[in-house]
Amino acid sequence: MGSVGSWEETVRKAEKLVEEAMKDNDASRDAAHVWRVRDLALSLAREEQGLSLLSSNSNTMQIVELAALLHDIGDYKYLRDPSEEKIVENFLDEEGIEESTKMKILKIIKGMGFKDELAGSANNDLPPEFGVVQDADRLDAIGAIGIARCFTFGGSRNRVLHDPNIQPQSDLSKEKYVKNDEQTTVNHFHEKLLKLKALMKTKAGRKRAERRHKYMEDFLAEFYEEWDGGA
């Protein structure tokens, strides 16, 4: 993928692209989210390499870093123009990223979504770096940060905070998930966030998810007690 100097320049340009493309997003999915996912993904990758579960090839960490940086550009929930779906591919072409590496990065990004897992559209052709990038993104969706992001997103969409009469959907299909306008913010924990621990792909990700998952369970127990006036 080129010399160290050119790689650092590519990362700098990718960071600028993130800041520009995500500047109008709400704070649940802004550049700060991307920086956290990048740091988590690189940390998980190093841990998986130590366990000999991820290749230590020279460009493995570069694939992880670029995929993590670019993973939310063109996200369907924030898409303002169909042309934005091509931003990442165009960027990789402009940076002269070799074809095999580019395809790995694009496959990782395309396979990240929870909605696709709901549809059962598992892709067995995903590169080994995929697991750490997806796990990093999902770790940022749970725990204390995940709680803050969940309520930030719900507020940005004017969702009801909580309604005991609206039960979480247990059979949430991809179509229902995408069009779930009746969803309350608290129900999102049950419909997605509390399911993420079991969906972690890497040993390192599963280990870190334990604490964050428990934090959400404790938060919800306190939330329901306070909602009912019991605390």
Number of domains observed in the structure of the chain: 1
Instruction: Supply the pLDDT for residue 204.
Output: 95
Instruction: Supply the pLDDT for residue 83.
Output: 65
Instruction: Supply the pLDDT for residue 124.
Output: 64
Instruction: Compute the distance between CA of residue 36 and CA of residue 68 in angstroms, rounded to an integer.
Output: 9
Distance of CA 30 to CAs 140, 149, 198, 218, Å? Answer: 12, 10, 26, 26
The residue ranges of the chain whose pLDDT is under 50 are: 2-3
Residue range(s) defining the domain that contains residue 207: 4-227
Other Cβ atoms less than 10 A from the Cβ of 147: the count is 19
| Residues contacting 57, CB < 8 A, separation 6+ | none
Instruction: Compute the distance between CA of residue 66 and CA of residue 145 in angstroms, rounded to an integer.
Output: 22
pLDDT digits (tens, 9 = 90+) for 32-63: 999 999 999 999 999 998 666 666 666 899 99
User: 């019991």: which residue's tokens?
Assistant: 230
- What CATH number did the domain enclosing 46 receive? 1.10.3210.50
81-120 burial, b at 16+ Cβ within 10 Å, e below that, comes to eeeeeebbbebbeebebeeebbebbbbbbebbbbbeebee
Instruction: Supply the pLDDT for residue 80.
Output: 67
